[in-house]
Amino acid sequence: GAVVSQHPSWVICKSGTSVKIECRSLDFQATTMFWYRQFPKQSLMLMATSNEGSKATYEQGVEKDKFLINHASLTLSTLTVTSAHPEDSSFYICSARDDENIYEQYFGPGTRLTVT
Amino acid sequence: RKEVEQDPGPFNVPEGATVAFNCTYSNSASQSFFWYRQDCRKEPKLLMSVYSSGNEDGRFTAQLNRASQYISLLIRDSKLSDSATYLCVVNTWDTGRRALTFGSGTRLQVQP
């Protein structure tokens, strides 16, 4: 089956620093990728839709200047959390939509971010 | 009102029990429906799609009622390994993007 990787799987950083999370589709091309955030005991919330070659589409309430998304190739999207604060600590999960089958989305294993 | 609503549980059931989860969605324009399973600190994994005619995969049966905007999942002969959070997921084509909307999940704990 299709595989999506995320790196790093977990990261601890200090307040005020920036953290970059990578999402890669390993065996398929993905023009569209999605970034989700999940707080403990809550559901996954879509943060933004990442589109290769164009600007990301952010959900209401998500600051685009704080969560920078770059989808530079058909297999890679990055999410950078800028000036991280403890309230940004969360589980960030990406998913990638297979260009050959737009009805399928494949999830990465997630990145656990802890901001101290 | 949340777009996708689920009973958070937890549902504590003995091995071998039958358990049912319910879910309602608010957007009548939603086109496709899924149940995902999420283990603690892991990404969600697709369990099964849900079709209007109802569908079964082994011990799992999913039902969809579009008129009532209601989705269900039935698990028969529960196993310890079924312990997880079950997410009801709805796919809606909205402003040109096909996004998944997740319910908050129903936690199942199967006990020996």
Q: Are A81 and A69 in contact (CB under 8 A)?
A: no
The gap from C-alpha A101 to its chain's centroid, in whole angstroms, comes to 20
- Show pLDDT as tens, one digit a residue, over chain A (116 residues): 679 999 999 999 999 999 999 999 999 999 999 999 999 888 889 999 999 988 999 999 999 999 999 998 999 999 999 999 999 999 999 999 888 877 778 999 999 999 99
Distance separating alpha carbons of residues A70 and B47, to the nearest angstrom: 30
β-strands A111-115, A10-13: how paired? parallel
- Asked if B104 reaches chain A (Cβ–Cβ under 8 Å), the answer is yes
Within 8 A of B99 by CB-CB distance, chain A residues are 34, 46, 49
Q: Hunting for tokens 């096909």 — which residue is that?
A: B98
> How many angstroms separate the CA of residue A114 from the nearest CA in chain B?
14
The overall longest dimension of chain A from CA atoms, in Å, is: 41
